Structure 1
Amino acid sequence: MRVMLRAHMDTAATNESIKTGALPQVVQQLMDRVKPEAAYFGLHEGVRSCWMVFDLQDSSQMPSLMEDLFLQFNAEVEVAPVMTAEDLAKGLAAMRSSGQS
Structure 2
Amino acid sequence: MVFTYFFSKNINKILYSSAPHAFFEMRFIVRTIFPTEAGNRAVKDPNFTKNIEDFMKNTKAEAAYFTEINGDRTGVFIVDIPSADMIPVIAEPFFLMGAKVEFHPAMVLDDLKKGLSVALK
**TM-score w.r.t. length of structure 2:** 0.72
SS in 1 for 2:85: helix
Give the alignment partner of residue 54 of structure 2, picking from 29, 43, 52.
29
Q: Distance in 2 between matches of 1:65 and 1:55?
A: 11
- Which of structure 1's runs of 4+ aligned residues deviate more than 2 A? 16-20
Shift of 1:37: 1.1
Which residues in structure 2 correspond to 1:36-47 (within 5 Å)?
Answer: 36-47=61-72
Shift of 1:70: 0.8
Aligned twin of 2:75? 50
Aligned twin of 2:95? 70
Name structure 1 gaps, 5 residues minimum. Answer: none
Give the alignment partner of residue 81 of structure 1, picking from 105, 116, 120.
105
Q: Distance in 1 between matches of 2:39 and 2:27?
A: 27
SS in 2 for 1:59: coil
Instruction: Kindly tell me the number of residue pairs found equivalent between the two proteins.
Output: 96
Shift of 1:14: 2.2
Percentage of identical aligned residues: 32
Name structure 2 gaps, 5 residues minimum. Answer: 1-25
Give CA-to-partner distance per residue, 1:9-33, whole Å, 9 cap, x none.
Answer: 1222222232221321221222122
For the aligned residue pairs, the C-alpha RMSD in angstroms reads 1.4
Q: Match of 1:42, as an amino acid?
A: T
Shift of 1:2: 0.8
Shift of 1:49: 0.1
Aligned twin of 2:118? 94
**TM-score w.r.t. length of structure 1:** 0.85
Largest Rg, 1 or 2: 1
